[in-house]
Amino acid sequence: MVCTTNDLSAWKDFPKGLRVLLLDEDSSSTAEIKSNLEAMDYIVYTFCNENEALSAISNEPGNFHVALVEVSGSNVNGSFKFLENAKDLPTIMTSNIHCLNTMMKCIALGAVEFLRKPLSEDKLRNIWQHVVHKAFNAGASAQSESLKPVKDSVASMLELKVELRQAETEYMEKTENVSLAQESNEHQSPASDKYPAPSTPQLKQGGRLLDDGDCQDHINCSIEKESAEQEGESKSVETTYAMSQETLQLGDPQSFVETVIKEEDNSTDGVKIENNICPNPQNKDGLKNSNGGAKKASGLHNSYRTRANRKKMKVDWTPELHKKFEQAVEKLGVDQAIPSRILELMKVEGLTRHNVASHLQKYRMHRRHILPKEDDRRWPQHRDQVQRSYYPHKPIMAYPPYHPNHALPPRPVYPMWGATGSHPAGVHMWGPPGYPPWPTTESWHWKPYPGMHADAWGCPVMPPHSPYSSFPQNASGSQSASMVNNSCGVTQKSFDLQPAEEIIDKVVKEAINKPWLPLPLGLKPPSTDSVLAELSRQGISSLAPPH
């Protein structure tokens, strides 16, 4: 075809000579773009309607490397038609209109990028990237003759670079770029062609997520699978996750959540390279979920490369990721929340149980250490009756599940995870500014019983004066129990019956074994005073710090 080995040798100054199909109905802008591109040594072929362009493609397949297509208001369908019929050609859409839906549709139809007009020189200059990406990431079917030379050429360039770098470094693993080249040769999946350039072939993701209809996340950077973590050196097949067309729903742009995992790469001098990619901050508008207005950062992720080394990945617990974590925990109930189940519920590709366990550990620590203080601080009058109200412990206490619609106390002061307000700019993971990072409004259910909304909570209402004998809802008379039952209309047989000894044992035991959990009703943690009193009774007058 047009790309021959001669071209290859001529491509020392790549991307010079790359052939651009320019489809634009507006002749003046066409001329401008053309001249700009030509100034950059691209070879430009212009067309003013899609049929012409398409026939040019079909007549001379492989003649073009990349297409630049205008999406005009008047002929949107023409653009789409082109897209659909030129799947083998990396196609960049350009437009004055930047309607998110249109953009989405273009991308969904296979466009590699959507550029807003006016097309700056920078934008134009870089269009070759899509050609290279295609050359390396497209399936064999799409490996047209025009791409092959590109690939070879680029590969050889990269190899050159590798040698140079190796010369100046002591030890270094095979450069990712090389493995990239090799991998794309070996692991190409047939279905992996014609995806947006920045994204690499993806795993399809099955099933829906949490029942609130939340979105699917993809970790867009390669992580090793959990199965690989126990086995020694099995070269784990790297997978890079990106948006899949199956999950793409045109009318539902908010269903993309940004989830980023940083990959750390201790290369030569120990400089950390973060492969943190989220290049398209495009749609911030109207990203409200119907079920609660959760804001979603969205973005198509440019997974830049596919790598095959076994470096440890660092999971970046973005707000989105954490939110899923939190939702999983909520769904399970704090006490039932164990790493494996959370992992299951989160349905995040690539996340390992270890990651979740680690996060869970922190989460619990946070709850354990910060919350009681918060509680105290907010209701000092009940200092020695710290009541932890969120306790959906089904088996024993039969608390009602989390109710998403309950009213929140106005301007609640939620506990912060990290230092109080001393987070620099890195708060990105802890939610929108002004909000405390971890506990989102949905997840923290601190209801002082004085003003508690029993309707929403169902029943963990306890008279402020209730004695701290066990099970005040029974001990203090059936009155409170029945009142509660009446008021919330929930039948709670367990409250009507005198708890069996074993139940009490179980509760107490559990309270002891799982200190991070809220205490069941009627149990209270020892007050500071009583602890001190007991200590002094035992002859201990001062406390050594916990460590």
Partner DNA sequence: ACGCTAATAT
Partner DNA sequence: GATATTAGCG
Neighbours of 270 (CB within 10 A): 6
Q: How far is the CB of 307 from DNA (least distance, A)?
A: 16
Residue 509 found at the interface with DNA (CB under 7 A): no
Only one of the segments 75-83, 132-140, 333-341, 441-449 lies at the binding site for DNA (rule: CB under 7 A); that segment is 333-341
Site for DNA in 232-271 (CB under 7 A): 264
Q: Which of 340, 469, 482, 491 binds DNA (CB under 7 A)?
A: 340
Q: For residues 24 and 335, which CB has a smaller minimum distance to DNA in the complex? A: 335
Q: For residues 334 and 461, which CB has a smaller minimum distance to DNA in the complex? A: 334
Q: How far is the CB of 516 from DNA (least distance, A)?
A: 7
Q: For residues 123 and 364, which CB has a smaller minimum distance to DNA in the complex? A: 364
- Grouping H, G, I as helix, E, B as strand and the rest as coil, residue 248 is coil
| Cα 180 to Cα 234: distance, rounded to the nearest angstrom | 18
**Token pair recorded at residue 465:** 């004066």
Q: Which of 272, 288, 373, 377 binds DNA (CB under 7 A)?
A: 272
Q: How far is the CB of 367 from DNA (least distance, A)?
A: 11
Q: How far is the CB of 144 from DNA (least distance, A)?
A: 40
Residue 276 found at the interface with DNA (CB under 7 A): no
Buried b (16+ CB within 10 A) or exposed e, 100-125: bebbbbbbbbbbbbbbebebeeebbb
Q: How far is the CB of 499 from DNA (least distance, A)?
A: 24
Residue 312 found at the interface with DNA (CB under 7 A): yes
- Grouping H, G, I as helix, E, B as strand and the rest as coil, residue 257 is strand
Strands 43-47 and 66-70: unpaired
Q: For residues 50 and 316, which CB has a smaller minimum distance to DNA in the complex? A: 316
Residue 227 near residue 268, CB atoms below 8 Å:
no
| Cα 17 to Cα 15: distance, rounded to the nearest angstrom | 6
Site for DNA in 196-215 (CB under 7 A): none
Q: For residues 178 and 357, which CB has a smaller minimum distance to DNA in the complex? A: 357
Q: How far is the CB of 168 from DNA (least distance, A)?
A: 23
Only one of the segments 60-68, 233-241, 314-322, 500-508 lies at the binding site for DNA (rule: CB under 7 A); that segment is 314-322
| Cα 430 to Cα 356: distance, rounded to the nearest angstrom | 17
Site for DNA in 360-389 (CB under 7 A): 360-362, 364
- DSSP element (H, E) containing 153: helix 147-167
**In 3D, which of 490, 516, 489 has the Cα closest to residue 397?**
490
**Token pair recorded at residue 100:** 């998110």
Q: Which of 17, 139, 412, 418 binds DNA (CB under 7 A)?
A: 418
Q: For residues 289 and 336, which CB has a smaller minimum distance to DNA in the complex? A: 336
Q: For residues 26 and 229, which CB has a smaller minimum distance to DNA in the complex? A: 229
Q: For residues 174 and 312, which CB has a smaller minimum distance to DNA in the complex? A: 312
Residue 461 near residue 400, CB atoms below 8 Å:
no
| Cα 514 to Cα 364: distance, rounded to the nearest angstrom | 10
Q: For residues 107 and 360, which CB has a smaller minimum distance to DNA in the complex? A: 360
Q: How far is the CB of 536 from DNA (least distance, A)?
A: 25
CA distances from 310 to 6, 99, 263, 275, 302 (A): 39, 41, 11, 15, 21
- Grouping H, G, I as helix, E, B as strand and the rest as coil, residue 242 is coil
* Binding characters for DNA, 345-364, by CB under 7 A (x = yes): --------xxx-xxxxxx-x
**In 3D, which of 308, 235, 223, 314 has the Cα closest to residue 274?**
314
| Cα 184 to Cα 148: distance, rounded to the nearest angstrom | 12
Q: For residues 113 and 224, which CB has a smaller minimum distance to DNA in the complex? A: 224
Q: How far is the CB of 340 from DNA (least distance, A)?
A: 3
Terminal-residue alpha carbon distance, the chain: 73
Q: How far is the CB of 312 from DNA (least distance, A)?
A: 4
Site for DNA in 419-448 (CB under 7 A): 419, 429-430, 437
- Using H for helix, E for strand and C for coil, what is the string for 459-495? CCCCCCCCCCCCCHHHHCCHHHHHHHHHHHCCCCHHH
Q: Which of 81, 98, 314, 406 binds DNA (CB under 7 A)?
A: 314
CA distances from 445 to 34, 100, 189, 337, 518 (A): 60, 36, 47, 17, 11
Q: How far is the CB of 509 from DNA (least distance, A)?
A: 14
Q: How far is the CB of 383 from DNA (least distance, A)?
A: 25
Q: For residues 286 and 424, which CB has a smaller minimum distance to DNA in the complex? A: 424
Residue 247 near residue 205, CB atoms below 8 Å:
yes
Q: How far is the CB of 262 from DNA (least distance, A)?
A: 9
Using CB under 7 A as the binding criterion, the count of chain residues that bind DNA stands at 30
Point out which residues bind DNA (CB under 7 A). 230, 264, 272, 312-317, 338-341, 353-355, 357-362, 364, 417-419, 429-430, 437, 516
